[in-house]
Structure 1
Amino acid sequence: MAELNGKPISPDDLQTLALTNYGHFTSMRVEDGRVRGLDLHFARLQRDCRAVFGVDLDLEAVREFARRAVPSRGVCIARLTVFDPAMDLGHVGDDAHPQVLVTTRPAGSLSLPAMRVQSVAYSRDMPQVKSVGIFGSLRHRRAAQQAGFDDALFTDASSVISEGGTWNIGFIRDDQVIWPDAEFLLGTTMELLRRLHLSRTATVHLADLADYDAAFATNVGIGVRAIHGVDELTLPADHPAIDRLRRAYTELQGDLL
């Protein structure tokens, strides 16, 4: 399924998105028409649209576009991409008229095996915006996978941990959740977990990871997924706090789209 402002998208419109690659998006896991953190997704779309295009979105219209494309039964991932099909590569400073592309794809399991990640010094451009330009993230994910890891974990030049390629990272110490004090994209799943479990933020260096009890990754596609290794360090994959977080997240009913 792919619709632009509630209508089938044309090849010309897709060409603009592919070649100009300027816009932002949010991805939602939809289960029988319900979305966990629906308010957070729409707040992100509005916030990012102002940052990227300098205009507001009609969120009621966006919601209706999403309803049209998403099945009322079953589970899927719906991606809402905001871009301007008329934007010209040489005149990106012109007034923008962003539209909404809704696409759907099958959703994976929320019970995934623990993963191993490779650290790399990298910071995304405008990390607070969920932009369509993810070449750097995918480049480092590819390099990590070719080195035998599952994904890449980003740090700054001082080895302060920020985020994963397309996910947030959290740590467990003394049954408390600790989120990195760094620049990263605040994920909707992370925001929901902060509502569900006592947590705080702290600066987390790679060299200090052995002082933590466990670590996990989180986004709408994977839910809560244990991290059992960072570079050469091994971490437990079965910490009970991660299981509690996973259960609390999966038991959230979500809001009707």
Structure 2
Amino acid sequence: MKACIYHQNQICEPHLWSGFSLNRGLFFGESPFTSLKLVDGSYQGVDLHFRRLDKSLEFLFGVNLSDYREEVEEGLNKLHENSGEYYFRITFTKTLNGEIDFFIYKMPYVNQEDELVLEKSNVIRGKTNLPNFLKVGNFLEYTLELKERTDFNEFVYYNFENHLLECGTSNIFLLKDGVVYTPALIPGILDGVTRSLLLQFLREENIPVKETTLLESDVLDSSEVWLTNSVKGVRSIKKYSGKEYLNETWAKLQEKFKNFVSEYE
């Protein structure tokens, strides 16, 4: 007996499935993606995003981005704008019939974020077998906790060893005594594009930076805490666990970093 699907009062055989957008992302969460920003006609860090997609497609589907890059670039060209800021998400998946497919989502970017108040997530992250470069479309834990709690607008994850990992949609950096710290890439921490760009920028500016194991006490001992995200950029938090943080150092660096990202090859 062949597999079939019941939908809208019809029993559909596999040759009819193409009309239902059925894929392994919907069934199994296999939906590798990357999010990037278009700013005044320039896609920021696009080559780094393509590298992520290439690794992700090889890991999940055993194919190379090079087979689809021309189509993706054609889509980005058709969606291109010469001015303004836009959020883009490129998502790949595999249909139930085994075909690789992708779509590009685009929307105007408007920063509506208030002052960042960070709190510790109630979710404790365990070990994972997923590589650091992989992003897939499952934010259920994150969105549910955001609905349940109103005392913050972003939260931070720790693992069972109380090691600092990352935030809900961002990597995290700490500034203490003139040195910038960020968690080393252990399982459970995304190798974010903006994380990579900020590390390179800080080193080129001769600002001491360390990738290492960090605890909650390190967050509380820091003078500034920065969150990195490919669309929102780098943002300083205002408060964590009742402590208020400064924004002196990043306020001095942010324009230079924006120029660094816009000129990045």
Tell me which interval the TM-score lies in, with the shorter structure as reference length.
0.7 to 0.9
What's 1:63 paired with?
73
TM-score normalised to structure 1 length: 0.80
Residue pair 2:116, 2:154 contacting (<8 A) in 1 also = no
Partners of 1:135 and 1:244 in 2: CA distance: 36
Equivalent residue for 1:213, pick from 211, 223, 226: 223
What's 1:197 paired with?
202
Q: Which has the higher contact order (CA 8 A, sep 6+)?
A: 1
What's 1:34 paired with?
42
Greater CA deviation, 103-112 or 184-193?
Answer: 103-112
Q: Assess, with a 3 A threshold, how the Cα gap between structure 1 residues 110 and 127 changes in structure 2: closer, same or farther.
A: farther
- 1:252 counterpart SS class: helix
1:103 aligns with 2:108: no
How many residue pairs were aligned?
235
Greater CA deviation, 205-214 or 216-225?
Answer: 205-214
C-alpha deviation, 1:123, in angstroms: 4.6
C-alpha deviation, 1:111, in angstroms: 8.2
Q: Assess, with a 3 A threshold, how the Cα gap between structure 1 residues 212 and 103 changes in structure 2: closer, same or farther.
A: same
Residue pair 1:36, 1:253 contacting (<8 A) in 2 also = yes
What RMSD over aligned residues (CA atoms) do the two structures have, in Å?
Answer: 2.7
1:44 aligns with 2:52: yes
1:139 aligns with 2:144: yes
Return 5+ residue gaps in structure 1 as ranges: 1-9, 89-95
Structure with bigger gyration radius: 2
Partners of 1:63 and 1:42 in 2: CA distance: 10
What's 1:7 paired with?
none
- 1:65 counterpart SS class: helix
Partners of 2:87 and 2:126 in 1: CA distance: 26
C-alpha deviation, 1:171, in angstroms: 0.5
What's 1:19 paired with?
26
Deviation track 1:167-189 (CA, whole Å, cap 9, x = no partner) reads 11111122222111233111111
Return 5+ residue gaps in structure 2 as ranges: 1-17, 204-208
What's 1:118 paired with?
120
Residue pair 1:33, 1:256 contacting (<8 A) in 2 also = no
Deviation track 1:41-73 (CA, whole Å, cap 9, x = no partner) reads 110110111112121123233222222223233
Partners of 1:111 and 1:192 in 2: CA distance: 22
Residue pair 2:34, 2:135 contacting (<8 A) in 1 also = yes
